[in-house]
Amino acid sequence: MAENGKANAETKTYREALREGMVHEMENDESVVLMGEDIGVYGGTHLITDGLYDQYGPKRVMDTPISEGGFTGAAIGMAMLGMRPVVEMMTWNFSFLASDQIIQNAAKVRYFSGGQVKVPLVIRGPNGGGVQLSAQHTHSLENMYGHFPGLKVVSPVTPNDAKGMMITAIRDDNPVIFLEAGALYGTKGEVGEGDNAVEFGKARIAREGTDVTLIAYGRQVNLCLRAADALEEDGVKAEVIDLRSIRPFDEDALVESVKKTHRAVAVQEQWRWFGVASEVAAIIQDRAFDYLDAPVIRVSGAEVPAPYARNLEIEAFPSEKQVANAARRVMYMEEK
Amino acid sequence: MSAAENEKNGDVQSASEGAVATSGDRLVDLYREMVLVRAFEDACQRGFRQGKIGGYLHLYTGQEAVATGFLEAFREGDRVITAYRDHAHALLLGADPNEVMAELYGRGPGLVKGKGGSMHLFDVENGLMGGYGIVGGHIPLGVGFAYAQRYQETDHITQLYLGDGAINNGAFHEAANLAGLWGNDGMCPCLFILENNQYGMGTSVERATAQTDLTVKFDAHGIEHEKVDGMDLEAVIEVAERAAEHVRETGKPYAVEAMTYRTVPHGAADFFEKYRTKEEIEKWRERDPIGLLEKKLIESGAAEEEKLDEIKDEAKERTNEAVKFADEAEQPPIEELYTDVYAGEDEYMGEK
């Protein structure tokens, strides 16, 4: 898989990369505006939009009241009239309050208007847990939003993808649910200069291997990479696939990899029931059944609301050990 | 307080007080439009009972003067958004009655290709940004339209229609708060038109809120407002022109509560109407907006009874044509199922 726009790359944080993607499009297109709670004067809870209020002013970097349904709906209206709003959900946990707007209006209005309108809207913010925010502030919502036709759902993990997929999201004429790996805002990586747009619906091979395929998205990709290191010590070469995009979904990348490795483990932070990993397993059995040498295993979060205590939180999410052992299981090796 | 008395709550603008300058000829034209809407919806009711129209069907009967009057203040480039009682808004903005009826009949030439039905009429070319099915859910969109209209440096405004049933919903309060706030910067030319037909489905205003003067709800968000007798077309026009002008000039939102009454059931399948009395409905029928206008036209000499009968016959004819068109139109081709899900080249993600 091509690493887009890396010819001239600089090391940046995930946070800086997101900001750079938004700025890139704001410079190109007057219709792009940012909205959200404390994204302006305050600079953003997670400092993603820091400095942009001074740069672009209050008409383009709009501080909103704490009113997710209201401002998300207003952004949908703006998008229907040709603007390109980028809405920050301070965290995706608050999007339940806006879900009527996202699901009932943004996702469907093009369809029920017979194609008379479009909704070029990005809703972005941190998704998932890992920073001890406990039950109400920890959700992974990719399966929920990925369920609805009319939405696009992406989940970048590298800083390069954070920027490149942000550019693509803003240019897209459809509502894009942009799920950021909140726990990784401070992580660094090489980020392509200028226009490094990353196409949606193309998975990335994060590590090549021949013996087992580990499939993830968001911060679980990094977990899989660490598990792959551990497996290497056992002589197992694991391939790691970063889905990058949940809707559209790159089925071919999974199928091609499994045809090579004959074994697959799907990893997700979210709860197992009705999750993305189940979809991955279903696609593989549907399209690569004859190539499989073992059942596809899902590694998921514990079926509990997210706890606070650090040790409990760690236990609630998939671990490197669980992923490596799942790989050993589909290899019919002894677990460690 | 009974619902019937609700109109007395506060200062209701009536034509006798307003400085009305709508000419007799214009009133006759508007009479023609209102009569067409009425005849069209009578045919919808028949179509529903015959099983030709599926889903839900919400009629505007009794409320026609509200949209007719406010749309007199509509200028090219303005936008209109409303909830699911949207047939009148579409027809008054100039949608082809054949296409509207075809939509209700679920046919291919329907206004939205048979994909939305009665609750989702859109005619973007003529300014209608849609009918929406979730009570209150469309209100934030309208406020967003208004922001965009100013951001794009136009002098267009948004007419945002909502019912009394929507006013206790969070979406209304969140959107009204944004409108007031953005209006402070002249960035929200949104005219809220609160069509108080006195019942949210079967629950009367006084059974839904302790603050039955609904305009007060706008005070909480810094939005100026007034009331109007929504049965009196001339009064509505007078307020509409003035309010729209104000919104257009200032970029600030403004609200008008039109006191009106739906003289038909909430939905066409709602036969029994346990929530109100026959006497109450009869009382309001006496103030039917078409009947009131008819009387006014005859008394003022703007039109003779024969002329009005002629107009009614024309409306029936036009409606019959629409029904015939809809009845004979083809169903949408099956391929249409998979279009318009996404904008762009790949309109559909999934298996066919």
pLDDT tens-digit series, residues A69-100: 999 999 999 999 999 999 999 999 999 999 99
B339 pLDDT band (50/70/90 cuts)? very high
Number of domains making up chain B: 1
B-chain residues near A80 (CB < 8 A):
129, 141, 144-145
CATH number of the domain that A262 lies in? Answer: 3.40.50.920
- Residues B242-261, mean pLDDT to the nearest whole number: 98
Q: Which residue has the tokens 């490094």?
A: A196
Averaged pLDDT score across all residues of chain A: 96
Which residues does chain A have within 8 Å of residue B144's beta carbon, measured at their own beta carbons?
73-81
Q: Which residues contact B182 (CB under 8 A, 6 or more apart)?
A: B143, B146, B147, B188
In a domain, B350, yes or no: no
A3 in a domain, yes or no?
Answer: no
Arithmetic mean of pLDDT, B332-342: 97
- The reply to whether A177 and A259 lie within a common domain is no
Q: Which of B120, B144, B350 sits opposite A112 (nearest CB)?
A: B120
Is B70 part of any domain?
yes
Q: Do the domain assignments include residue A298?
A: yes
Is A294 a domain residue? yes
Q: Does residue B253 register a pLDDT over 60?
A: yes
Q: Per the domain annotation, does A197 fall within a domain?
A: no
Of A59, A75, A113, the CB nearest to B112: A113
Whether pLDDT at A1 is above 50: no
Per the prediction, chain B carries an average pLDDT of: 93
* Among the partner residues A73, A81, A100, nearest to B175 by beta-carbon distance: A73
Is B5 part of a structural domain of the chain?
A: no
Residue B349 lies in a domain: no
Residues A178 and A32 in one domain: yes
Residue B319, CA atoms < 13 Å, CB-side half-sphere: 23
Question: Which range of residues forms the domain containing residue A284?
Answer: 204-330
Reported as a pLDDT band with limits 50, 70 and 90, residue B21 is low
Q: Which two tokens stand for residue B315?
A: 């409306």
Rounded-to-integer distance, Cα A262 and Cα A294, Å: 7
Average pLDDT in the A169-185 region? 97
Between chains, do B171 and A115 touch, taking CB under 8 Å as contact?
no
Q: Which residues of A are catalytic?
A: 68, 137
Q: What percent of chain A has pLDDT over 70?
A: 98
Identify whether residues A169 and A213 lie together within a single domain.
no
Q: Is residue A335 part of a domain?
A: no
**A236-264: b (≥16 Cβ within 10 Å) or e:** bebbbbbbbbbbbbbbebbbbbbeebbbb
The answer to whether the bond into A248 is cis (omega within 30° of 0) is: yes
Nearest CA in chain B to A98: B171
Alpha-carbon distance of B97 to B107, in angstroms, equals 13
CA distances from A283 to A144, A235, A254, A278 (A): 18, 28, 8, 9
Which pLDDT value is given to residue B268? Answer: 72
**Mean predicted confidence (pLDDT) in B278-305:** 95
Check residue B350 and give its pLDDT. Answer: 86
ipTM: 0.95
Among A78-92, B228-242, B256-270, the minimum mean pLDDT is found in B256-270
Q: Which residues in chain B (88-147) have CB-CB distances under 8 A to chain A?
A: 110-116, 120, 122-124, 129-130, 132-134, 137-147
Domain co-membership, A269 together with A128: no
Instruction: Compute the nearest-CA separation of B229 from chain A (Å).
Output: 30
pLDDT digits (tens, 9 = 90+) for A22-55: 999 999 999 999 999 999 999 999 999 999 999 9
pLDDT of residue B14: 52
Q: Is B296 a domain residue?
A: yes
For residue B154, pLDDT over 90 is answered with yes
- pLDDT class of B210 with cuts at 50, 70, 90: very high
**The predicted structure's pLDDT at residue B12:** 59
Q: How far is the C-alpha of B348 from the C-alpha of A162, rounded, in Å?
A: 25
B144/A75 Cβ within 8 A: yes
Q: Residue A66 pLDDT more than 50? A: yes
Q: Is A115 helix (H, G, I), strand (E, B) or coil?
A: coil
| A15 and A104 belong to one structural domain | yes
Mutation pick from B340, B346, B352 vs chain A, by most beta carbons of A within 10 Å, is B340
Q: Is B341 within 8 Å of A71 when comparing Cβ atoms?
A: no
Indicate if A40 and A116 belong to the same structural domain: yes
What is the reported pLDDT for A149? Answer: 98
**B344 domain residue, yes or no:** no
Could you tell me which of B142, B4, B161, B147 has the C-alpha nearest to residue B73? Answer: B161
> Is residue A134 in some structural domain?
yes
**Contact yes or no for B115 and A67 at CB 8 A:** no
In a domain, B297, yes or no: yes
Look at residue B107 and tell me whether its pLDDT is greater than 70: yes
Q: Does B143 sit within 8 Å of A101, measured CB to CB?
A: no
**Partner residues linked to A152 by β-bridges:** A176
Is A199 contained in some domain? Answer: no
Q: Using CA coordinates, name the residue in chain B closest to A246.
A: B349
Beta pairing partners, B227: B12, B257
8 Å CB contact of B122 and A117:
yes
The answer, for A245 touching chain B at a CB cutoff of 8 Å, is no
- As for how many domains chain A has, the answer is 2
**Cross-chain Cβ contact B344/A149 below 8 Å:** no
DSSP code string of B138-196: THHHHHHHHHHHHHTT----EEEEEEGGGTTSHHHHHHHHHHHHHHTTT---EEEEEEE
Backbone phi, then psi, for B134, in 5-degree steps? -100, 120
Whether residue A7 has pLDDT greater than 80: no
Is pLDDT at B2 greater than 70 in this prediction?
Answer: no
What confidence score (pLDDT) does residue B24 get? 87
* Residue A216 near residue A266, CB atoms below 8 Å: yes
The answer as to whether B340 is a domain residue is no
What SS3 state is found at B336?
Answer: helix
Q: Which CATH number do you get for residue B130?
A: 3.40.50.970
The verdict on a CB contact (< 8 Å) between A70 and B129 is no
User: 3-class DSSP state for residue A335?
Assistant: coil
* pLDDT at residue B1 in the model: 35
Portion of chain B with pLDDT greater than 70, in percent: 94
Residue of B163, B35, B34, B37 lying closest to B101 (CA atoms): B37
Residue A86 is part of a domain; what is its CATH number? 3.40.50.970
- Shared domain check, A224 and A187: no
Whether the Cβ atoms of residue A22 and residue A52 lie closer than 8 Å to each other: yes
Is residue A231 domain-shared with residue A154, that is, in the same domain? no
- Cβ of residue B220 closer than 8 Å to a chain A Cβ: no
Cβ–Cβ < 8 Å for A266, A299: yes
pLDDT bucket at B13, cuts 50 / 70 / 90: low
pLDDT average, residue stretch B109-125: 98
Q: Are strands A176-181 and A152-154 parallel, antiparallel or unpaired?
A: parallel
Q: Does residue B70 have a pLDDT over 60?
A: yes
Q: Yes or no: say if B333 and B108 are a contact pair by the CB < 8 Å rule.
A: yes
How confident is the model over A139-176, as pLDDT tens digits?
A: 999 999 999 999 999 999 999 999 999 999 999 999 99
* pLDDT at residue A210, rounded to an integer: 98
Domain that holds residue B263: 17-333
Outline where B58-169 has alpha helix (H): 64-70, 87-92, 97-104, 139-151
Question: Is the pLDDT confidence value at B3 over 60?
Answer: no
- Residue B5, pLDDT > 60, answer no
